[in-house]
Amino acid sequence: MTLCQSRQDTRHDWWRGATLYQIYPRSFVDANGDGIGDLTGITSRLEHVASLNVDAIWLSPICTSPMDDFGYDVSDYRDVDPMFGTLDDFRALLERAHALGLKVIIDQVLSHSSDQHVWFQESRQDRTNPKADWYVWANPRPDGSAPNNWLAAFGGPAWTFDSRRCQYYLHNFLASQPDLNFHHPEVREAHLDNLRFWLELGVDGFRFDTANFYFHDRKLTDNPPSSDAYRRRGHPRSYQLLTHNTDQPENLTYLERIRALLDEYPGSTSVGEIGGSNPLPTMAAYTRGDTRLHMAYTFDLLDSTGEAAALYRVLSRFVEIGDDAWPCWALSNHDVARSASRWGEDRALLALTVLCSLRGSLCLYQGEELGLSEAELAYEDLQDPFGINLWPEVKGRDGCRTPMVWDESANGGFCPAGVAPWLPVFAPHRPLAVTRQDAAPDSLLAQVRGLLKRRGTSETLRQGDQRLIAPSELPEGVFGVIRTIGERHLLCLAHLGHGEAPAEIALDGLADGLQDTQPVDLPGMPTPTRQGSILQLMPGTAAWLAQH
């Protein structure tokens, strides 16, 4: 049984229900043999990406940078870092991607720059220069200490003292990533001009890093402490709530300026990263209506471990606060441990099947289609300042950033033999290489291609409404949603529990009309057993049921 065919990539709202594929440029393909991935390497492998049946690629930062935080510290917003190539290389990538039917979204890091950016170099000279107020500067307290209690994400105070100005500057992340002052109108205009530069070049949109960090509380009010309960819920080092350095009301007004600019380029889109202490309401507010961001994501699913009740809690909370907002759901990216390790390496396909059932747009991270797990690295191999600073309690983000494996050679086909890659290729990844899985018709790669094709050609999944099925309506460990468009229903179920006994699901108790549904042929999943209105679903499997 097939799903409704209704692919609409040529429409201006192509992004709604689309699947993005995140590429971490340093780790995708090294074409020039220096051990670091580059734009030419990416271009050479775009056919693989297109074969996955995704709609767009998202490139992590490629702008000029000293690479203290691997591109998230920009020193020139209008050029490509020589490590990755040139603007001409980027133009070639754009041309090839578009020829393959892939949109191109690039990372934009607006909230902060590198301390090597000419703006900051001028700003720090004195208190009267033309860019003196382009960054967040504040006087010390009477005893010389920092202006308030704000903490940086990578540890320690969010303030560094500058001896030239005899003031502190704000950095929500590394000390080499000073925060720009978005209360200054010239800063806001400068960034709009930077965005226009890339839109004129032909990009199809932007992923906005830390999109809720642009504005800060002018009064520099101390953040309140978090609670023991909050830290026990998965935030063990979060000693304060990010109340006054994120989520300021002025952010919404600026996002509307960005959306107005994007609307000048029909078909362009945006996806925002939303962090902070209470991200789901912000995610909903930032994507509500049609005047702000097109899409946004939080870390709620990115931190998930494949537990049915927990998934329901996240998704139901989003529905309560943002029924007209548009999420971009992901299970893996460059900031978190890979989902194959969190959900279980034998459940990589199950995890993606759940993801494909959800209302919203989706994002896959490079290597997710291969089932790559989180790599284990020695301390001396670490590159990420987050892991270096907090080792061993926090191992950092290098484990999800190791090179892509294209073949089973020592370097995984990422870079030439004899060249040391910037991070070591994780040996257990090599048997999962693209060449090996390409040759196996029943491989995870083949199954993911089939799954994404089903998602991409289903109007119900891309555009339809969604009703979450409460845990009380399902056996323990089973997660379910009902997707609907018009009079058509698609029931999506996944048994996330463990053990050997099947779950028995009474279809007639879930919604009217589901008794007449029949299983859809899901790649890699066995056909569930059915007796009348009772469906039997084995642990670790999923089933989609559609009406005739």
Q: What's the DSSP call for residue 249?
A: T
Supply the pLDDT for residue 225.
Answer: 95
Integer Cα distance of 244 and 260 in angstroms: 27
| Contact (CB, 8 A) for 444 and 348 | yes
Cα separations (Å) of 129 from 119, 122, 125, 274?
11, 7, 7, 33
Q: Which residues are catalytic?
A: 209, 264
Q: 113-181 has which fold? A: Oligo-1,6-glucosidase; domain 2 (3.90.400)
CA–CA dist 427, 231 (Å, integer): 35
**Rounded to whole angstroms, how far apart are CA atoms 149 and 171?**
12
Q: Check residue 394 and give its pLDDT.
A: 86
User: So what's the pLDDT on residue 386?
Assistant: 87
Q: Are 360 and 328 contacting, i.e. CB atoms less than 8 angstroms apart?
A: yes
Please list the residues that pair with 23 across neighbouring strands: 59
Instruction: Say which CATH architecture domain 464-547 belongs to.
Output: Sandwich (2.60)
* pLDDT, position 498: 95
| Amino acid of residue 488 | R
CA dist 354 → 46, 135, 161, 539, 546 (Å):
26, 43, 48, 14, 16
Contact 257, 214 (CB under 8 A): no
pTM score > 0.75 for this model? Answer: yes
Domain boundaries along the sequence of the chain: 19-112+185-454, 113-181, 464-547
Classify 17 as helix, strand or coil.
Answer: coil
> Using one digit for the tens of pLDDT, what is the confidence trace for 493-523?
999 999 999 999 999 888 777 777 889 999 9
Q: Do the domains 464-547 and 19-112+185-454 match in fold?
A: no
Residues of the chain short of pLDDT 50, as ranges, are 1-9
Characterize the bridge pairing of strands 76-80 and 63-64. antiparallel
Neighbours of 69 (CB within 10 A): 21
What whole-number distance in Å separates Cα of residue 31 and Cα of residue 34?
8
Q: What is the 3-state secondary structure (H, E, C) of 443-468?
A: CHHHHHHHHHHHHHCEHHHHHCEEEE
Quick one: tokens of 508?
Answer: 């007639």
Return the closest-CA partner of residue 270 out of 214, 326, 205, 211: 205
Contacts of 354 (CB under 8 A, 6+ apart): 306, 311, 479, 492, 494, 496, 542
Q: Does the domain made of 19-112+185-454 have the CATH classification 3.20.20.80?
A: yes
- Between CA 409 and CA 416 the distance in angstroms is 10
The per-residue pLDDT for 322 is 76
Pairing of strands 19-23, 361-365: parallel
| pLDDT (0 to 100) of residue 3 | 41
Q: What is the pLDDT of residue 548?
A: 62
* Long-range contacts of the stretch 227-234 (C-beta < 8 A, 24+): 230/277, 234/303
**255/46 Cα distance (integer angstroms):** 31
Q: Which uninterrupted H or E stretch holds 146?
A: none
The angle at the Cα of 215, spanning 211 to 218, to the nearest 5 degrees, equals 165
CA dist., res. 464 & res. 458, Å (int): 9
Cis amide linkage into residue 392, ω under 30° from 0: yes
Give pLDDT tens digits for 301-353: 999 999 999 999 999 998 888 778 899 999 999 999 999 999 999 999 999 99
Q: What is the pLDDT of residue 10?
A: 53
pLDDT (tens digit, 9 = 90+) per residue, 114-148? Answer: 999 999 999 999 999 999 999 999 999 999 999 99
| Cα gap 19→260, rounded to integer Å | 24
What is the per-residue DSSP string for 163-193? TTTTEEEE-SS-TTSPBB-TTSHHHHHHHHH
What does the pLDDT read at residue 68? 96
What pLDDT shows up at residue 48?
Answer: 98
